[in-house]
Structure 1
Amino acid sequence: MTEPSDESRTVHDGRTMPEDKRTSILLLGVDRYVVSACCRLGVDAVAVYGPVTRDNGLQEIPDGVTAVFCDDHRNPEAVLTALHRAGLADRQFDAVQTTDEWALVTAAVLGAALGCRALDSGAAVLFRDKYLQKERVRAAGVLTARTWLVEDIHFLDGDVPPMPFTPAVIKPVAGAGTSQTSVVNDGAELETLARAYRKRRTASRTFVAEEFMEGQEWTADGIVSGGELVFYGLGEYGASCLSVIESGASLRMRKFDPHTERWAYDLAGPVVLAALTALGAPDGVFHMELFHDPETGQVAFSECALRRGGALTQEEIHCKFNVDLGEAAVLCALGDRPAPVVKVRSGTVGSSYLPSRAGTLLSCPTPEQLRQLPDVEFARIDQPPGMVLPEAFGATGERLGQVMFTTDSVDLLDQRVEETQSWFLEHLRVIPHEVVTRRLRDWSREVVGADYADVLYDPEGK
């Protein structure tokens, strides 16, 4: 099946693995939905994770999953040495799986080293390197932006070659989340950008320049098994990811309905299938981005990752189509073909990031309080009180919180987003960066209920 439908199927086979033949899987990073699926399917999971997950504390590792800490779960050496220290050097894993964009090639390398199922390293490279990816897709005849490789952006100093096209989007060749992404209109702007990156000593130095494409930014999230497209759900961003980062606005998304918005699936379907075929997508969950030109009706390929999309992609797909991408990722990693029971929910499913203000977060509404608002289906707060919030988040993977809605129409979705964001800002308490000490003392009385005013010693009154 290449498109969402209401056809009922059996998920896996409804059984867990026999205790004497438990399948074992090595997870790089902690994906709450992948870990949950392993527990539900009876898969013996070993999750290797790093400092960010441990320090963040948002994603808990449940009992029954072996947790192994290492300095960097994206580094093969760190993972292997951690497995040895944990006494797991001789563990016979059946597969290696990751939802972490930056650990995709590491998973491929470890699969070869451990002699178990994993993505082929050549395929992993294609799904990481945006330059190689676009070159491969364009060679297959799929409409996509022209590209130009900037081998080392730190060395573009007074020696910028003529740009083959302008304007151009400049981004790390293996980046994610729209981080360090900019638009330049000529060689002078590119040189200025290069100088700024060199001054900041950015870790990313190899960049790709892509031809700027007009249009709406669409998404396709789905499952591929044995090179065949099993399922996908189509969606759109409220505004392009780049414009959201530049403006400091809140990212918005929604899913297209395959019945009432069939035209979108008819336009995007051939491009999704052709791009996956060109990239040789084997088994896994994918997140693809596309550009739709409303004037011409053309859909162009933008980029594709062989892992689940970020933000609330898992929740939106599950809510709209009854498809669990976390479970699908586990089954694909193990070589089992997912057979989702697709049930299209009527109406509109969408989500939005929650607005923020710069400063130290004192308090904000809880997920439970957010779920009490009209048409709110799900909510998550990613930053706890006490965190210092920036003037603007620098990537789409950074946010204060997220909320998902289910409404009867797109117009009502837009209304609920605006209402919820306004309500959230009214109840958001942040100490601004520039606040003076006097104001902090006032807030201590108002919020904490404690008075830290200056007092005089009075031996009589004690």
Structure 2
Amino acid sequence: MTRDHFPGPPAPAGRAVLYLGWQREPVESLRRLGADVTCLVTPELRCTAREQGFEGPLAVARDHTDTEDALGALAELGLKPSDFAVVCTEDEFAVVAAAVLRSLSGAQEAAVPTALALRDKAYQKQRARAAGVPVADWVRCPDLDAVRECPIEPPFVVKPPSGAGSQHTWIVREPADLDVAEPRSGPWLVERFVPGEELHVDGVVREGRVLLVSVSRYLHNVIEVHDGRLVASATLDDTDSALAAEVAALTGRVLAALDYRDGVYHLEAFHEDGRLTFGECAGRIGGGLIHETVLAKYGIDLYDEWAAAALGRPSPAAAREVRALKDSFGWVNLPARPGRLRILPGREEIEARPGVVEGQVWAKPGDTIGDHRLGSHLLVAKALVRAPSEAVTREQLAAVAEWFGRTVEVDPTEAADE
């Protein structure tokens, strides 16, 4: 399920592409399709790109998600957006900046409103509700004082309008919960709490037609990461085909409402008592091991699909019949307690656990680890599991996480003790 390492130089006929940020996999996919890629990066990402073998041009900005910084970094190299046939990114935080720069390049369809709808949760929900999609009530508040006075009664969820990974997100079950809110400036999105199980949907849309719908169920709703719960999911069984069909229909309505016609998507919804409620949608590949799960289950490489859409090339999935394996696949983010890592299981040890078909290690002994309860992106390793059913997959995901938690050893630090 892992991808090949960074390829050689692109073909001479490649198109000039500006990529905002640095992520090895999407840049690899662009270059495999003949793109001549320039990356617009921060100083830190510049070092990472070089360490990972990228030898192409790098424009260095203080903040690659800021259009002013981006234009200045390009000007330093004597470049401007119109020098590129394509401006794109798989970095969620740079989606709007890429659309704005694309509009400056003279593109006929800048799609800035769609990019904004894929980022700003309030605008997204507004467009979805206008299209008749079930959405929880929400209010956008400029600060915490306005949150305290909002008309939505607890329980409700407070989050940044353009956040990701459940960072700076929490449930308010009673007014007193706001008295210990984090000291972060607004604005805030207040959203009525939706009970039920959380699903995520991942796939491909081209020319407004949804080509792939992969439906998975989280072991615990993602916001529960703040209570120390695992971030993990497993694909649905065939016995849930009716639910999968309803989710697919909801997904199509949401993507149409956002006017998102070409690319990959990661959508979340809540299911309770036979009812679906739309949560949010991003125009990127989901985190965890969602890419690996889709590749294993359907044989579809979402990075290649993303790159083909960005370059206006035909979808690889559309060229063949997509068939799903019957087995369930699932993934789990493996965290560690805050502190300095002393002993960390390796990839081979993770892959030796029952059902595990791929392990990834994202840290090393000696690294200082923060509190994984702050967001779903904080982890030290990952595992991909295959089993005959969703129920067994869920059991094996919990088992490998329990084993990992017993095996990893962390020395407390002063910062972790505070």
The TM-score, its normalising length taken from structure 2, stands at: 0.89
| Larger RCO (CA within 8 A; separation ≥ 6) | 1
The residue number in structure 2 matching 1:105 is 96
The residue number in structure 2 matching 1:310 is 287
Question: 2-side partners of 1:138 and 1:430: how far apart?
Answer: 47
3-state SS, counterpart of residue 151 of structure 2: coil
How many residues of Structure 1 are paired with residues of Structure 2 in the alignment?
405
Structure 1 residue 319: Cα displacement: 1.0
Q: 2:140 aligns with which of 142, 146, 149?
A: 149
Structure 1 residue 220: Cα displacement: 0.9
The residue number in structure 2 matching 1:443 is none
Q: Is 1:243–2:243 an aligned residue pair?
A: no
Q: 1:180 aligns with which of 157, 161, 168?
A: 168
Question: 1-side partners of 2:109 and 2:377: how far apart?
Answer: 26
Structure 1 residue 276: Cα displacement: 1.1
Q: Superposed, which structure 2 residues align to 1:365-376 within 5 Å?
A: 365-376=345-356
Structure 1 residue 418: Cα displacement: 3.4
The residue number in structure 2 matching 1:71 is 62
Q: Superposed, which structure 2 residues align to 1:88-127 within 5 Å?
A: 88-89=79-80, 92-116=83-107, 120-127=111-118
Q: 1:167 aligns with which of 140, 155, 158?
A: 155
Q: Is 1:321–2:301 an aligned residue pair?
A: no
Question: 2-side partners of 1:337 and 1:37: how far apart?
Answer: 14
Structure 1 residue 134: Cα displacement: 1.0
1:386-438 per-residue CA deviation (whole Å, 9 max, x = no partner) reads 22223443111111111111122233323322332243234322112369xxx
Q: 1:350 aligns with which of 321, 325, 330?
A: 330
3-state SS, counterpart of residue 34 of structure 1: helix
Q: 2:265 aligns with which of 283, 286, 298?
A: 286
3-state SS, counterpart of residue 83 of structure 2: coil
3-state SS, counterpart of residue 53 of structure 2: coil
Q: Is 1:21–2:9 an aligned residue pair?
A: no
Gaps (5+ residues) in structure 2? 1-8
Q: Identity, % of aligned pairs?
A: 29
The residue number in structure 2 matching 1:446 is none
Question: 2-side partners of 1:40 and 1:111: how far apart?
Answer: 22
Root mean square deviation of aligned Cα: 2.7
The residue number in structure 1 matching 2:5 is none
Tell whether the 8 Å contact from 1:163 to 1:186 is kept in structure 2 after alignment.
Answer: no
Q: Which amino acid aligns with 1:249?
A: R
The residue number in structure 1 matching 2:343 is 363
Question: 2-side partners of 1:268 and 1:388: how far apart?
Answer: 40
Q: Is 1:39–2:31 an aligned residue pair?
A: yes
Gaps (5+ residues) in structure 1? 1-16, 436-462
Structure 1 residue 76: Cα displacement: 1.6
Question: 1-side partners of 2:176 and 2:401: how far apart?
Answer: 39
Structure 1 residue 132: Cα displacement: 1.4
1:81-133 per-residue CA deviation (whole Å, 9 max, x = no partner) reads 22233344487312111111111110011111223477511111111111111
C-alpha change, 1:330 and 1:132, in structure 2 (3 Å) is same
3-state SS, counterpart of residue 299 of structure 1: strand
3-state SS, counterpart of residue 199 of structure 2: strand
The residue number in structure 2 matching 1:411 is 391
Q: 1:427 aligns with which of 403, 407, 417?
A: 407
3-state SS, counterpart of residue 417 of structure 1: helix
Q: Superposed, which structure 2 residues align to 1:435-450 within 5 Å?
A: none
C-alpha change, 1:170 and 1:383, in structure 2 (3 Å) is same
3-state SS, counterpart of residue 37 of structure 1: helix
Runs of 4 or more above 6 Å deviation? none
Tell whether the 8 Å contact from 1:118 to 1:333 is kept in structure 2 after alignment.
Answer: no
Q: Which amino acid aligns with 1:287?
A: H
Q: Which amino acid aligns with 1:284?
A: G
The TM-score, its normalising length taken from structure 1, stands at: 0.81
Q: Which amino acid aligns with 1:309?
A: G
Tell whether the 8 Å contact from 2:361 to 2:380 is kept in structure 1 after alignment.
Answer: yes
3-state SS, counterpart of residue 141 of structure 1: coil
The residue number in structure 2 matching 1:219 is 200
Question: 2-side partners of 1:260 and 1:51: how far apart?
Answer: 49
C-alpha change, 1:265 and 1:106, in structure 2 (3 Å) is same
